Structure 1
Amino acid sequence: MAGDPLNSNRPLRVIIIGAGASGLLMGYKLQRNFDDLSFQIYEKNPDVGGTCTYAPSTEIYDYFKGFQFRSNLGEKTKVSHEVIGAKWDDRAGKWNVEIQDLVNGVVLNDSCDVLVNAGGILNAWKWPAIPGLHDFKGKLVHSAAWDQNLDLTGKHVGLIGNGSSGIQILPAILPQVSKVTTFIRGPSWIVSGVAGFEPRKFEEEEKEEFARDSSTLLKFRRAIEQNMNRIFPLFLADSPTQQRSRESFTASMQGVLEDPGLVDQLIPKWAAGCRRITPGVGYLESLKDEKTTVIYGGIAKISPEGCVTEEGKEYPVDVLVCATGFDTTFKPRFPLVGSHGCQLAEDWKDEPRSYLGVAAPGYPNYYMFLGPNSPIGNGPVLIGIEAQADYICQHITRIQQQSIKSIEVTKEAVDDFIEFKDQYMKQTVWHQDCRSWYKGNTADGKILALWPGSTIHYVETMKTVRYDDFKIRYFGNRFDYLGNGMTKIEMTPDADLAQYVRNEDDAPIIGSKFTYVKASPEQQTSGDVITADSRENGSTES
Structure 2
Amino acid sequence: MPNDFSSSGPPFHDHPQPHIPIHNERHMKVICIGAGASGLLLAYKLQRSFENFELTLYEKNADVAGTWYENKYPGCGCDVPAHTYTWSFEPSAKQSSLYASSDEIFQYFSSFCEKYELQKYCKFKHQVTKACWNDTTARWELEIADLTNGTIFLDSCNLLVNACGILNSWRWPDIPGFGNYKGPLLHTAKWDPSVDLNGKHVGLIGCGSSGVQVLPAIHPVVSKVTTFIRSPTWVSPGHTTLQHVYTEEEHREFETNPDALLRHRKTLESSLNNFFPVFIANSDVQKGVRAAMVDMMKDKLGDEGLAQLVIPTWGVGCRRITPGPGYLEALASEKVQVVFGRIEEITEKGCVCDGQEYAVDVLICATGFDTSYRPRFPLIGLKGKNLADIWSDEPKAYLGLAVNDFPNYFTFLGPNSPVNNGPILIAIEAQADYILKMIDRWQTENIHSFSPKAEAVEDFIAFKDSFMKQTVWDDACNSWYKGKSGKNIALWPGSTMHYLEAIAEPRYNDWDFKYTGNRFAFLGNGFSQTEKDLTADWAYYIRNQDDSPYLSRGKRRRVVTSSGTIDRKGPLGWM
Q: Which amino acid aligns with 2:413?
A: L
SS at match of 1:415: helix
- What SS is found at the alignment partner of 2:432? helix
Residue of structure 2 equivalent to 1:529? none
Matching residue of 1:468: 509
Q: Superposition RMSD on alpha carbons, in Å?
A: 1.8
Match of 2:300 in 1: 256
- Quick one: distance in 2 between partners of 1:387 and 1:228? 17
Question: Which residue of 40, 45, 66 maps to 2:56?
Answer: 40
In structure 1, how many angstroms separate the alpha carbons of the residues matched to 2:264 and 2:66?
A: 23
In structure 1, the residue matched to 2:34 is: 18
In structure 2, give the amino acid aligned to 1:456.
Answer: M
Question: Which of 81, 99, 106 is equivalent to 2:126?
Answer: 81
SS in 2 for 1:65: helix
Are 2:380 and 2:387, in contact at CA under 8 Å, matched by a contact in 1?
yes
Does structure 1 retain, via aligned residues, the 8 Å contact 2:302–2:332? no
Instruction: Give the match for residue 115 of structure 1.
Output: 160
1:299 match: secondary structure: coil
- Indicate the residue corresponding to 1:319 in structure 2: 362
Residue 234 of structure 1: aligned partner: 278
Question: Distance in 2 between the 1:498 and 1:38 partners?
Answer: 33
Q: Which amino acid aligns with 1:446?
A: K
Paired amino acid for 2:314:
W
In the alignment, is residue 477 of structure 1 matched against residue 518 of structure 2? yes
Deviations 1:114-137 (A, max 9, x none): 000000011101110012222212
Range moving further from structure 2, 429-438 or 365-374: 429-438
Aligned counterparts of 1:62 and 1:201: Cα–Cα separation in 2: 18
* Structure 1: runs of 5 or more not aligned: 526-531
Show the counterpart of 2:500.
Answer: 459
Q: Which amino acid aligns with 1:256?
A: K
C-alpha separation between the residues in 2 aligned to 1:29 and 1:207?
Answer: 29
**What's the secondary structure of 2:383's corresponding residue?**
coil
State TM-score, norm by structure 2.
Answer: 0.88
How many matched pairs? 526
CA offsets 1:90-131 (integer angstroms, 9 cap, x no match): 111000011100111001211000000000011101110012
Paired residues for 1:23-102 under 5 Å? 23-51=39-67, 52-53=78-79, 54-102=99-147
Residue identity opposite 1:452 in structure 2: P
> Is there any run of 5+ residues in structure 2 with no aligned partner, and where?
1-16, 68-77, 80-98
Aligned-residue offset at 1:145: 1.5
Percent identical: 51
Under a length normalisation based on structure 1, what TM-score does the superposition of the two structures give? Answer: 0.94
Query: Does residue 189 of structure 1 match 2:231?
Result: no
Does the residue aligned with 1:513 lie in a helix, a strand or coil? helix
1:166 corresponds to 2:211: yes
> Helix, strand or coil for the counterpart of 1:501?
coil
Is the contact made by 2:26 and 2:444 (CA closer than 8 Å) also made in structure 1? Answer: yes
- 1:103 and 2:148 matched: yes
In structure 2, distance between residues paired with 1:402 and 1:50: 34
Mapped pair 1:363 → 2:406: yes
Does the 8 A contact of 2:225 with 2:337 survive in 1? yes
Question: Mean alpha-carbon deviation: is it higher for 272-281 or for 30-39?
Answer: 272-281
Contact kept, 8 Å, 1:10 with 1:403, in 2: the verdict is no
Q: CA deviation at 1:512?
A: 3.5
- Describe the superposition over 1:464-520 as per-residue Cα deviations: whole angstroms up to 9, x where unpaired: 111111110111211111112112222111111222223332222221334142487
Alignment check: 8 A CA contact 1:16 1:40 kept: yes
Which deviations, in whole Å up to 9, do the C-alpha atoms of 1:140-199 show, x marking residues without a partner? Answer: 11111222333321121111111111111111111111111111111111112369x944
Quick check: 2:32–2:55 contact (8 Å CA) kept in 1? yes
SS in structure 1 opposite 2:401? Answer: coil
Q: Paired residue for 1:534?
A: 572
CA distance in 1, matches of 2:565, 2:467: 32
CA distance in 1, matches of 2:377, 2:107: 29
Q: List structure 1 segments (4+ residues) > 6 angstroms apart after TM superposition.
A: none
Distance 1:15 1:201, change over 3 A: farther
Cα deviation, residue 200, structure 1: 4.6
Given candidates 342, 347, 355, the residue that maps to 2:390 is 347
Asked if residue 501 in structure 1 is aligned to residue 542 in structure 2, the reply is yes
Q: CA separation in 2, counterparts of 1:246 and 1:278?
A: 14
> 1:304: Cα distance to partner?
1.3
Q: What residue is the counterpart of 1:202 in the other structure?
A: 246
Maintained 8 Å contact 2:239/2:325: no
Partners of 2:429 and 2:451 in 1: how far apart? 21
Match of 1:329 among 372, 375, 381: 372
Equivalent residue number for residue 285 of structure 1 = 329
Indicate if the aligned counterparts of 2:398 and 2:452 stay in contact, CA closer than 8 A. Answer: yes
